[in-house]
Amino acid sequence: MDISESQRDPLTGLLNRLGLAAALQEFDTLGRRGLTLFSVQIARFGHINSSLGGEIADRIITLTARRLQKTFPNALHIARTHGDHFCLLFEGLDAVEETIERLDDFTRRPFAVQGEIIVLSVRCGVARMDDSLGSAGMLLHGSETALQVAKATKTRASFYKPEMEEQARQAHRFENDLRVSIVNHHADLHRALANDEFQVHYQPIIECDTGQLYAFEALMRWSHPTNGPVRPDLFIPLAEQIQVMHILGSWVIQKAIADAATWPPRADGQAVGVSINISACQFIEPAILLNTVSQALDQTKLDPALVKLEITESSAFVDTMSETLLRLKDMGCRIALDDFGKGYSCLTQLHELPLDYMKLDRSFLKDLESEDPDEAMRSRKLIQAILALSGTFDIAAIAEGVETRQQLDEVRQMGAKLVQGFLYSRARPASEIPDYIKNFVPGS
């Protein structure tokens, strides 16, 4: 296949989308069969660009392209179709699962770029020529449809099935309806808060050493009047996009602190704390955030040391964030870095931000019990490295997503101070929390 300059990606030298489409069309003309196409996206890559800058982001893209070429010499073509999206085309590929494992492995190996240590993760969609995708030209659409399913379900990889087409159309209609609903009800958002469309549920956080109840994380829930319960990963990004997250965020702060002020102490008399997620959008107008926290503390008389405010690692850190966090610390609140290692890991954040806690992302724990010993060992080494890092910076580590006793025992032995997850409880409505505290048995 002759490749023109217009069919190459100028940054990486790989095929671009136009070039890949031309290659697939040529395979159809030649009658080539047995093709498999992987559509791969670097998870949450946009935050690298916004937080660390375009130069580092471009460097990561070029390094990723080189790794793909080195890791998959058997690929017919490797393309960068746009942004953080790559495609890999194979012929006669039987080891599909092994290829997915290799994709996952090569992205988890850290990049060192201009003093930053960056760990990526990927999601991929896989499409193979069969009865439902009878031509090479259909593979790109099929693999990208499967990729969207992998992203929506937060799975590492998804394989194309014909029914995904209708599911994708339904998801698009739902998201559009949701977007219209939030926009149309912008002026009525306070009414929605008042009529219990929005609620705060609480998930317990447990001390590793004692098995005692330590705190609860406040998690926002929305029951839409027509669409019913809406997942937070759907409505929170939309609320941020249309700039109403500061209203929702302020309400959650007030509600969570007010609820925590009414909770009974543990059996040993120790008060139970509350952890509250703060959106990056709330740092755009720091005066509102600071006033909201200050007023809630003044009104409830809750000890500020019981309030832990969580910021996400991959947020686009605005200039005022560090200063605002210091002012929140001056009030007596604690600061946590959420989802550490989920999208990328920036060591300067651990050094520059006034952190008391860091939360190990749940994705690292899921592979601890893998039947693949290499995968389990890789996960264990990553967790050990992150927990050692938390010790180096004197930051207490919280392990999220603990679902089994084996996971609990392992992260405890590796140095986690606190844990939360379904092993103890799902998030519970506010009305259940007082009884949960009273009936909680340490170590159970």
Is there a contact between 149 and 172 (Cβ–Cβ < 8 Å)? no
Q: Give dist(CA 379, CA 334) in Å, integer.
A: 29
Q: Per-residue pLDDT averaged across 289-314, rounded?
A: 91
Q: Could you read off the pLDDT of 360-394 as tens digits, one per residue?
A: 878 778 778 777 888 888 888 888 888 888 888 89
Q: Per-residue pLDDT averaged across 432-439, rounded?
A: 96
- % of the chain residues with pLDDT over 90: 39
DSSP assignment of 29-51? HHT---EEEEEEEETTTHHHHHH
How high is the pLDDT of residue 45? 75
How high is the pLDDT of residue 195? 63
How high is the pLDDT of residue 242? 65
The domain locations on the chain are 5-162, 175-439
How high is the pLDDT of residue 315? 46
How high is the pLDDT of residue 423? 92
**Residue 201: enclosing H or E segment and its boundaries?**
strand 198-207
Cα separation values, 45 from 50, 111, 127, 247, 316, Å: 9, 13, 23, 27, 11
* Window from 43-52, 82-91, 256-265, 284-293 with minimum mean pLDDT: 43-52
Per-residue pLDDT at 47 exceeds 90: no
Per-residue pLDDT at 18 exceeds 80: yes
Tokens in use for 35?
Answer: 């093709």
Q: Give dist(CA 304, CA 439) in Å, integer.
A: 25
**Which residues are CB-contacts of 134 (< 8 A; sequence separation ≥ 6)?**
none
User: Beta strands of 43-118 (E only): which ranges?
Assistant: 77-82, 85-91, 111-113, 116-118
* Window from 98-107, 160-169, 358-367, 375-384 with minimum mean pLDDT: 160-169
How high is the pLDDT of residue 186? 53
How high is the pLDDT of residue 345? 47
Q: Where do we find the tokens 């659409």?
A: 141
Is there a contact between 423 and 443 (Cβ–Cβ < 8 Å)? no
Q: Per-residue pLDDT averaged across 215-230, rounded?
A: 84
Virtual torsion, Cα 301, 305, 306, 308, nearest 10 deg: 120
Q: Give dist(CA 422, CA 391) in Å, integer.
A: 26
Q: Give dist(CA 4, CA 2) in Å, integer.
A: 7
Q: Per-residue pLDDT averaged across 6-22, rounded?
A: 91
Top-confidence residue, 5 or 442: 442
**Radius of gyration in angstroms for the set of CA atoms belonging to the chain, rounded to a whole number:** 24
Q: Could you read off the pLDDT of 62-99 as tens digits, one per residue?
A: 989 999 999 999 999 999 998 899 999 998 888 888 88
Top-confidence residue, 379 or 269: 269
DSSP state of 266: P
Q: Per-residue pLDDT averaged across 23-45, rounded?
A: 83
C-alpha closest to that of 321 among 301, 339, 348, 345: 348
Per-residue pLDDT band at 440 (split at 50, 70, 90): very high
Question: What superfamily would CATH give domain 175-439?
Answer: EAL domain (3.20.20.450)
Per-residue pLDDT band at 125 (split at 50, 70, 90): very high
Virtual torsion, Cα 168, 172, 178, 179, nearest 10 deg: 150
Mean pLDDT (the chain) is: 84
Per-residue pLDDT at 294 exceeds 80: yes
Q: Give dist(CA 308, CA 56) in Å, integer.
A: 32
For the chain, the first-to-last Cα distance in angstroms comes to 64
Give the three-class secondary structure for 311. Answer: strand
Pairing of strands 198-207, 157-159: unpaired
Top-confidence residue, 161 or 419: 419
Which residues are paired to 52 by β-bridges? none
How high is the pLDDT of residue 80? 95
Is there a contact between 19 and 7 (Cβ–Cβ < 8 Å)? yes
Q: Where do we find the tokens 């023109």?
A: 4
The angle subtended at Cα 411 by Cα 372 and Cα 326, nearest 5°, is 130
Q: Where do we find the tokens 């998870």?
A: 43
- % of the chain residues with pLDDT over 70: 85
Q: Per-residue pLDDT averaged across 344-372, rounded?
A: 77
The angle subtended at Cα 367 by Cα 364 and Cα 368, nearest 5°, is 90
C-alpha closest to that of 312 among 344, 352, 266: 344
State which amino acid sits at residue 292. T
How high is the pLDDT of residue 95? 83
State which amino acid sits at residue 123. R
Is there a contact between 253 and 293 (Cβ–Cβ < 8 Å)? yes
**Which residues are CB-contacts of 233 (< 8 A; sequence separation ≥ 6)?**
154
Top-confidence residue, 164 or 407: 407
How high is the pLDDT of residue 256? 97
Q: Could you read off the pLDDT of 306-343 as tens digits, one per residue?
A: 999 998 754 445 456 888 999 999 999 999 988 776 64
* Window from 93-102, 134-143, 154-163, 189-198 with minimum mean pLDDT: 189-198
CATH architecture for segment(s) 5-162: 2-Layer Sandwich (3.30)
Phi, psi of 109 (to 5 degrees): -70, 125
Q: Give dist(CA 365, CA 404) in Å, integer.
A: 10
Per-residue pLDDT band at 395 (split at 50, 70, 90): very high
How high is the pLDDT of residue 334? 97
Top-confidence residue, 99 or 304: 304
